[in-house]
Structure 1
Amino acid sequence: MKTYISPWPQAAKLPDFPRSVAVLGATGSIGVNALKVMARHPELFTVMALAGGRNGTLLAEQCARLRPRYAAVLDDAARRELEAGLPAGYSPQILVGPDAFTTLAALDEVDTVLSSIVGAAGFEPTLAAARAGKLICLANKESLVLGGHIIRAACHASGAVILPVDSEHNALFQGLMGLESDDEIARLILTASGGPFRGRDAASLAGVTRKQALAHPNWSMGAKISIDSATLMNKGLEVIEACHLYGLPVGMVHVVVHPQSIIHSLVEYVDGSQLAHLGMPDMQVPIAHCLGFPRRLGVDVPRLDLARVGCLTFEEPDLAAFPCLGLARDAYDAGPSHPVVLNAANEVAVAAFLDGRMGFADIPATIEAALDRHRPVDVSTPEAVLDLDRAVRDEIRRALWPDAD
C-alpha cells in the first residue's frame, strides 16, 4: 500500500537483533527515555553512538554507562565537558559540530537511528539516515515538515524504513497496520491535549508568561516543544507530518482536543468504525514500539486503569484563539515551500518569546506575516530547502534582534 513514507514495514527488510543504535538527541527527553527502554532490554540493543547537543556533562554520564564507540556534541565547550566527564581508559571517537550528527546517522556500524533532535536541525541527519538505508525511529517531525518529499524519495531509493515515535503518529501507524488499501481509510484523527491554555480566548492569551506557557498539563517536554503545544503549532506540524508519513491529503487528517491524553490518535475506516490507541501519556511506549518493531517490548510505565480515569472528553480545537493549527494546514495546502517558511518563522518566534522579545500572541502573528510575504519557490533539493529556511530565519531575526552581530 502507498500510505507509508517507507516500504510497508512488514514487507521491508528490518535489521536483526541485537540492533546497533545511534541516538541523535541523547540528552533530550526522547533520548533519555530511549536509553531507559534499551537498558531494560540489553540483549536486543547495542548503543553504538550518542549525540547530545550542548549538554556535555549528561552525555559523559551516558557514555560512561553505555560505552558507545562514537559521541557527538555541537561545540567545543560541550566537547570539553564531555571529555572531562569520561572515565579513565575509555575514549570514544568524539565528533564536533552539526555535521557530526549527519555523520553518525550514516555510520556503517549503525543499523537503527533514533532521530530526536529538536527543530529543523534534524533534517539533514534524518535525510542522511534515509539515504543510508537505516531503520529510522523518527521523533523529529520538522524533518518531514521541511522536506518530506525529499526524505520519501530517499527511503524508496535505499529501502530505509521510518517508524514514527511521536505518540500520535505511532498510534496512527498501529491503527493502519494490516490494511490492504488506502481506500479502506476514511480519515486520521490526531488528538491534542489543548495545552496549558485550553478554554481561554484570544484576548486572554496576550499577557501569558514564559513560565505559564512551559507548564504542560500532561507531558514533560523540552522548552520549544512545550511552547509549540501551548500555541497548537505542535499539532499543526503533526498534521503535515501525517500527510507525508501516510500519503494522504490534508483534508483527511483531523484534530480533536482530548484533555486527558489517554487516546493518542484514531483511525476511521470507510465503514464508519474507528480504532483508537489508548495508554498512559509516557513516551517510553511509542519509543519501545519503534525500537523493537515488530516485537512489542515491555516498559516500566504506569498501567492504564480506565475505571480510575473515569471520563474521557473531546472538543473541537479553537482556531480563533490558537491560529497556528490553521496556519499549518493552509501552509501544507499552499505548496512544498510554505511549510519551510512556517517552520522557520515558528522556530525564530518561539525563541524570541522564550527570550522575552515578543508576547505569546505575537508568535502566530509573526508566522502569518512570513507566510503572507512568501511566494512559492522550488524546494526539490535539500540545498534549496536549507537556503529558504536560512533566508526566512535571517529576515525575522534582523527585525527582532537588530542589535545582534
Structure 2
Amino acid sequence: MSPVPYDMTPAVAPVERSVTLLGATGSIGSSTVDLIRRARDRYRVEAVTAATNAAALAALARDLGAKFAAVADPALYDDLKRELSGSGIEAGAGPEALVEAARRPADWVMAAITGAASLKPTLAAADRGAIVALANKECLVCAGTLFMRRAAAAGATVLPVDSEHNAVFQSLASGRRAEVKRIVITASGGPFRTWPIERIRQATVEEALKHPNWSMGPKITIDSASMMNKGLEIIEAHHLFAASADEIDVLVHPQSIVHGGVEFVDGSMVAQIGPPDMRVPIAHCLAWPARMAGATRLSFDQLATLTFEAPDEVRFPALRLAKAAMTTGQGAPTVLNAANEIAVAAFLDRKIGFPHIAALVEATLDASAARGVLREPADPDEAVAVDHTARSLARDLLPEIAAKAF
C-alpha cells in the first residue's frame, strides 16, 4: 500500500493509462481534459461524470471516447441517454451511477467531485486499489481517517492534486518521512489580504470573487477569501502526510509561486515552485511517476520579488476554527466543512454578509458539540449522516447569525 508514496524512484509509468474523470466538467476536470487532449496516445478514458450538465457531459464523453457517462442528478437520466444516442456509450444517473463510474476498471481516477457527494465514489475507486488523484477536500476533511485506512487496506495510491499538497508531496521525495521536521503550505491571502478588518466585514460577493491569482469556481474562491481553504488544507495535510498540528505551518505568499515545501531535521528546506496554473499539479499526477509536457512554464528571469508573511487569524477567523476542528478530531472537521458549505452558499445568495460565514461555522461547531454530534465516522454512511446533521443545524442557525451585526 502506498497512500502517499515517498519513494518515487522504482516505478515506471505505463505506455497507455486508462483514466476515469469524476467531475469531468468542472474546473479541475476541464484542466485534466485539456492535458489528456494534448497526449491522446497515452490516455484512454473509461468513464466521465458530471453533476447536472448532461449535454456537456455527453459531448465530452463522445469526444474522449469514454465507455460510460454518469450524471449525479437522477432526473437527468433521459436527457443524458438522449444526448448519447447512437454513440454506444453507456449512461447512468444518480449517486449509485457515480459509484459505478469509480468502480470501472481504470488505472487512474481523478476525484474532482465537490462536496460530501464525493466521498462514496472516491472511496469506491480507492477500495479497488486504483491510483486516486485527489482533487476534492471533502474525502479527507469529512472522513480522513476512514479514507486513508481503506486506501491502505486496498493498496491504493493517493496522489494529492491540490497545488499545495502536491508541492509537499514532490518535496518529500528529497528525504525520508522520519527526517521531516515541518511541512509548509502557502496561501495567496486572497483578495482581502491587506484589508483592515472593518473593510473585510463590509466585503461584497463581487469583491470576494476577485481572486488575485487563481481562476477557480465560486465556492473555493470564497474559501480563499476567508482563508477557510487553508484551514481545510491543514486537515488534509494531517491525513495525507501523517502530520501533527505542530508539524504543519501556513505562510501567506501573495505571488503564488512557491506552493509548499518541507523542512528537514538538518535544516534543509525543499520547496516546489511553479506558475499559478492547476494544470501543473494535475499533469504531475496524471503522468506519475513519469512526467509529461505541461501547459505553462515559469521563467526564473520573470519572477518578481517573493514575499512571505504569517497569516492573521484575527482578520481571518476561519483558519483558527479549522485548526481547532483538527485538534478536536472525530467528527469536528466534518461539521466544519458542512457548515462552511451552507455559509458560503448563503453568502453567494446574499443572505448573509462575509463575516457571518465564520460566525455560522463556529456556532454550528458549538451546537454540534453540545448535541453529541462530533463522533468519528466509522463508515461512509456515518460520515454522510454527520454531514447532513451539521447542515441541518447550520440552516437552523442561519437566521440568528444573519441578524448579528459586525
State if a TM-score over 0.5 links the two structures.
yes
1:168 aligns with 2:164: yes
Correspondent of 1:396 among 385, 394, 397: 394
Do the aligned partners of residues 240 and 12 (structure 1) sit closer, same or farther apart at CA in structure 2, a change above 3 Å counting?
farther
Once the two structures are overlaid, the 10-residue window that deviates more, 214-223 or 98-107, is: 98-107
Amino acid at match of 1:356: R
Answering whether residue 107 of structure 2 is matched by residue 111 of structure 1, we say yes
Shift of 1:291: 1.1
**Displacement of 1:399 after TM fit?**
4.0
The letter of the residue matching 1:336 is Q
Q: What residue ranges of structure 1 are gaps of 5+ in the alignment?
A: none
Find out whether 1:373 has 2:370 as its counterpart. Answer: no
Tell me the equivalent position of 2:404: none
CA positional deviation for 1:373: 2.1
**Aligned mates of 1:381, 1:9 — CA distance in 2:** 30
Assess if the C-alpha contact under 8 Å between 2:4 and 2:169 holds in 1.
Answer: no
2: CA distance between counterparts of 1:40 and 1:198? Answer: 36
Cα–Cα, structure 1 residues 279 and 76, in superposed 2: closer, same or farther, change >3 Å? same
Equivalent pair of 1:24/1:116 in contact (CA under 8 Å): yes
Deviates more, 1:308-317 or 1:55-64: 55-64
Q: Name 2:385's counterpart in structure 1.
A: 387
Matches within 5 A, 1:168-317: 168-180=164-176, 182-301=177-296, 303-317=297-311
Q: Hey, what's the Cα distance between the residues in 2 that align with 1:401 and 1:55?
A: 32
Give the Cα–Cα distance (whole angstroms) in 1 for the partners of residues 77 and 292 of structure 2.
Answer: 34
Aligned to 1:39: 37
Partner of 1:72, secondary structure, is strand
RMSD: 2.0
Aligned length: 396
Which of the numbers 54, 57, 61 marks the counterpart of 2:55? Answer: 57
Which amino acid in 2 is paired with 1:90?
S
2:116 maps to 120
Where 1:71 maps in the other structure, the secondary structure is strand
Q: In the TM superposition, what whole-angstrom CA distance separates every residue of 1:33-89 from its partner, at most 9, and x where no partner exists?
A: 101111111222101111011122321221221121100112255445544544x63
Tell me the alpha carbon deviations over residues 230-266 of structure 1, each in whole angstroms, 9 at most, x when there is no partner: 1000011001000100001011110000011011111
Unmatched 5+ stretches in structure 2: 401-406
Identity percentage over the alignment? 44
Aligned-partner Cα distance in 1 for 2:10–2:143: 22
Q: Is the 8 A contact 1:130 1:160 kept in 2?
A: yes
Give, in whole Å, the separation in 1 of the partners of 2:218 and 2:228: 13
Question: How much has 1:127 moved relative to structure 2?
Answer: 1.1
Query: What secondary structure sits across from 1:212 in the alignment?
Result: helix
Report the equivalent of 2:330.
336
The answer to whether 1:362 aligns with 2:360 is: no
Q: Which residue of 1 aligns with 2:403?
A: none
Q: Is contact 2:174-2:270 (8 Å) kept?
A: no
1:327 and 2:321 equivalent? yes
CA offsets 1:276-331 (integer angstroms, 9 cap, x no match): 11111111111111111010110221x21233222111111111111111111110
Q: Which residue is equivalent to 1:75?
A: 73
Range with greater deviation from structure 2 (247-256 or 14-23): 14-23
Question: How far did residue 381 of structure 1 move?
Answer: 2.4
Shift of 1:15: 7.3
Contact 1:12 1:159 in 2 (8 A): no
Structure 1 distance, partners of 2:60, 2:239, is: 33
Retained in 1: the 8 A contact 2:6–2:172? no
Structure 2 Cα separation of the partners of residues 222 and 12 of structure 1 = 37
Asked if 1:95 is matched to 2:89, the reply is: no
Q: Tell me if structure 1 keeps the 8 A contact 2:191–2:212.
A: yes
Matched-pair contact (CA < 8 Å) for 1:20–1:46: yes
Q: Give the one of 342, 351, 361 matched to 1:348.
A: 342
Is this contact kept in 1: 2:6–2:169, CA < 8 A?
no
Tell me, what secondary structure is at the counterpart of 1:316?
A: coil
In 1, Cα distance between equivalents of 2:353 and 2:66: 42
Relative to structure 1, is the Cα distance of residues 12 and 248 closer, same or farther in structure 2, using a 3 angstrom cutoff? farther
Deviations 1:155-199 (A, max 9, x none): 11110000000011000000001523x331110110000011111
1:395 Cα deviation from its structure 2 partner: 1.9
SS at match of 2:263: strand
Q: Secondary structure at the match of 1:218?
A: coil
1:136–1:162 contact (8 Å) kept in structure 2 = yes
- Alpha carbons of 1:263 and 1:348: their partners in 2 closer, same or farther (altered >3 Å)? same
